[in-house]
Amino acid sequence: MQPPGPPPAYTPTNGDFTFVSSADAEDLSGSIAPPDVKLNLGGDFIKESTATTFLRQRGYGWLLEVEDDDPEDNKPLLEELDIDLKDIYYKIRCVLMPMPSLGFNRQVVRDNPDFWGPLAVVLFFSMISLYGQFRVVSWIITIWIFGSLTIFLLARVLGGEVAYGQVLGVIGYSLLPLIVIAPILLVVGSFEVMSTLIKLFGVFWAAYSAASLLVGEEFKTKKPLLIYPIFLLYIYFLSLYTGV
């Protein structure tokens, strides 16, 4: 009886492991490439990394979501703050040239009020009033807010149909005549008579611009009751500038 022969050689298939000796392993080299995972998004295949796939499998795919840009977030700064420079410039012209014969639609100052234009005028008037009297800045802003509130309440009591925002805008814009006469007063300040006339002219100019917009036909015979406090308000504004 012959002794059993050596077992037949085993050839591994593609799915089996191949064991090699340590001596043969020195001649082997290579790398293991991670599997490519592709997502089908609307027909386009996008290759994802292993980390992305891991996050999605664990339910953290929301971390990878990118929100679309909202067109509302790309507005210019002036539009975002609701600042219309052309509208402000037109209102400034309407206040500085209050004569009806010039053809300006002056009612836009009252009917379409804004906040930033009057605020800029009041702040500019405060800046030119800073010379030697820093405390007047807060006073000018306070008088603008509460003086406008007083005119508003008085107008409502007298039967006028006006909103506080409209009064605030008209009173603020109508400070422009006082800003115009400010550099003139610096030149003719030593001439008392001339200086007084220019001050009166500036106050009348400002009061007329404001009163012609706020005092409508609905007041009828009550117009002086509203024009007079407006006139006093601008006298007080001027006194804050001159320091009197």
Closest CA to 227 of 199, 204, 194, 195: 204
When comparing pLDDT for 19 and 235, which is higher? 235
Asked whether the predicted pLDDT for residue 123 surpasses 90, the reply is no
Is residue 145 in some structural domain? yes
Is residue 16 in some structural domain? no
Q: Within a 10 A sphere around the Cβ of 233, how many other Cβ atoms?
A: 22
68, 147 contact by CB (below 8 A): no
3-state secondary structure of 171: helix
Is residue 211 in some structural domain? yes
How many domains does the chain divide into?
Answer: 1
Q: Round to whole Å and give the CA distance between 117 and 129.
A: 19
Is residue 32 in some structural domain? no
pTM for the predicted model, two decimal places: 0.64
What pLDDT does residue 43 have?
Answer: 43
Is residue 46 in some structural domain? no
Q: 134-156 pLDDT, tens per residue?
A: 667 778 888 899 999 999 999 88
Is residue 37 in some structural domain? no
Domain that holds residue 189: 85-242
Is residue 136 in some structural domain? yes
Q: CB within 8 A of 116, min separation 6: which ones?
A: 81, 82, 83, 88
When comparing pLDDT for 56 and 152, which is higher? 152
Q: Computed from CA positions of residues 55, 58, 63, 66, in that sequence, does the dihedral angle turn out positive or negative? A: positive
Is residue 7 in some structural domain? no
